[in-house]
Amino acid sequence: MSLSKEEINELVRLVSLTNDEEIDCERCLSLVAEFAERKLAGHSIPAELAAVAHHLSICAECSEEYALLLQMMNG
């Protein structure tokens, strides 16, 4: 598979962030409302929600949806 420079950079970024255990998109959806409220309120993120931040750094779709959620909450 031949990759452009941009694609290789993104792949290296993703590999460097990879953890053995990661939550999937369903799990992210079930936790993201609480995560977003804490973020907007400037509250600390408990360890169990750190997996959400990590998932958002990897998953383009969940990250896009999270950005929209923040917009919607700021309505």
Partner 1 sequence: MAHLDAGSLDRQTALADLRGTLLGGLRKALAHRTYGGDAFLEDVVQDALLRIMERLSQFQGRSRFTTWAMSISIRVAMSQLRRLHWKDVSLDEVTTARVSDKEASLDVQSEREAILAAMQEVIRTGLTEKQRLALLAELRGMPQDEIARHLGSNRNAIYKLTHDARKRLKQGLEALGFTGDDIGAAISG
Give the binding site for Zn ion (CB under 5 A).
25, 59, 62
Instruction: Report CA-CA distances (Å) from 38 to 20, 46, 52, 53, 63.
Output: 26, 9, 12, 12, 16
Partner from Zn ion, partner 1, none contacting 12, C-beta within 5 to 8 A by type: partner 1
Rg of the chain in Å (alpha carbons): 14
Of residues 13-32, which lie at the interface with partner 1 (CB under 8 A)? 13-16, 18, 20, 22, 24-26, 29-32
Partner from Zn ion, partner 1, none contacting 51, C-beta within 5 to 8 A by type: none
End-to-end C-alpha distance for the chain, whole angstroms: 43
Amino acid at 57: S
Least Å from the CB of residue 28 to Zn ion = 5
Least Å from the CB of residue 56 to partner 1 = 12
